[in-house]
Structures are given as structure tokens and as C-alpha cells.
Amino acid sequence: MSKIKVVIAGCSGRMGKTLLECVEQSDDLVLHAALDHAGSTALGKDASELDGTRGVKIGADVPAALRGADVLIDFTRPEGTLHHLELCQQFGVNIVVGTTGFNAQQKALLGASAQKIGVVFAPNMSVGVNLTFKLLETAAKVLSHGYDIEIIEAHHRHKVDAPSGTALGMGEVVARTLGRDLDKCAVYGREGITGERDPSTIGFATVRGGDIVGDHTVLFAGTGERIEITHKASSRATFALGALRAARFLKANPAGMYDMQDVLGLK
């Protein structure tokens, strides 16, 4: 059986290096190309210098990287991901998107591309986080009345978007289960005399500091009790390994828009 040929975008970043290492350690995937942004000091280096495959040079020529590839894994930024997405459609290459910070219009572009190629898009690729999404759905059904809902997330000092895509994903799961619109019920900050808490809201609190990989807690606070559902990531490998499962899933399935719930069979 031939190996799945993988292109990794943003290979010199924290997630990119982890993806290189995980692909190198896998039995059924092979690094086809490694991409970085123009001007990167990594350009021209052998991917093995970043824990990737020896003999694969890091480049910025996306069309050249995509020729003959099966899937692109992208954990970069929205603008770069959308550029890669357009080229993936041209070359018939599937894409796994772990990038966060998309607006509604950009998400619509991801959905439109799924008419031509396979797309797995998830705010978090971790198997544990996606199981947590399923647990939250159950919890929200049971705790739909009399419980205030707050989402607390913490990440490293370098993260550029807030709240995290995972926290927003958790909020969307809870809001959808409760029949609410997260855009209308989310509260992203509190300061001063705020008045009593509106029970229909879902609150978010963000912490940034140090090298925290990713902590997320959804708090259901009732009268006399609190239920907390928490996921803590200690290594980026959990996200990378989930992305590799998504790549395998796309190889075996037709073009379409998928998330990690599809990949893990949780739907």
C-alpha cells in the first residue's frame, strides 16, 4: 500500500515542527514537501534540521510543493491558509485545516472549496478535545436550566487570537445544543458595574502567559454544585496526531466538508 504524501505548511513554526516529527515517525505517511513563508530563515534548509525527512528541502513555492501530493496540513494563519486552499483546489489536493481566527466569510470559502476537494476543518485536532465536544453536548442537554455557563481558556504568550478557536468551538457546541445563537449570547469581557449575570449568556475568560500549550474548562455553575469539564494539553503532539488521522480520513473518503467529529466517528 502506497504511503500518503503530505505537505506541511508553516513548517518552522511550533506546530509545523511537531507535524514534521510526527509524519517522520509514522508508518503510512511520507513528507512530500515542507513549506514556509517567503523570507523565512528556514528556506533552503533540509527538513531534517527541523525533525523532518532528510532530502526534503524547505521552500516557499506552493504550486511546486502541491504537485503529486495527497494532502496539505495547514496550521498557519487565515490569509495564508486561504491562499493555500485556492491552490489545493487547482491541484486537486485535500487539505487539513487547524488554523484558527477565521471570520464567517472566510469559513464560507472553506465550505465552498469542499465541492472540489476533501477538507477537514476543526478548531482543535486533538482526539481528547473532540471527545470533550461530545461530552459537552450531553452535559448541555442535561444542565439546560438553572446552570450558568462559563468557558475559561489559557494559552502561551505567543498566541495571537482570543478567545481560542477551541474555546469558541466549545461555546458553539453548547449554544447549539441549547438552541441559542453564540453570536448573540456570548460575553467576552466583564469590567466595572456589569449588573447581575444574564442566565442566557455564555461567558468567556482568556489567559495568556508562559508556554501553556492549551487548557480549556467549561463550567456549569448551578445552585449548590458546579460541574467542570476540562481538557489540558501538555504537548502539541496531540494536535499533530489528530491532524494525521484527518489526513488518513481524507484519503479514504470523497470530497466534502468534514470536522474531527466525522474523522473520529462521533456523529
- Residue 56: which residues within 8 A CB-CB, separation 6 or more? 31, 32, 33, 34, 46, 47, 48
Choice among 159, 184, 232, 251 that is catalytic? 159
Q: Could you give the C-alpha distances from 147 to 76, 78, 170, 178, 225, in angstroms and in order?
A: 37, 35, 16, 12, 9
Which residue is catalytic, options 32, 45, 84, 155? 155
> What would you report as the CA-atom Rg of the chain, rounded to the nearest whole angstrom?
19
Active site includes 155? yes
- The answer to whether 158 is a known catalytic residue is no
What DSSP string describes 134-189?
HHHHHHHHHT-SS-EEEEEEEE-TT--SSS-HHHHHHHHHHHHHHT--HHHHEE--
Catalytic residue numbers read 155, 159
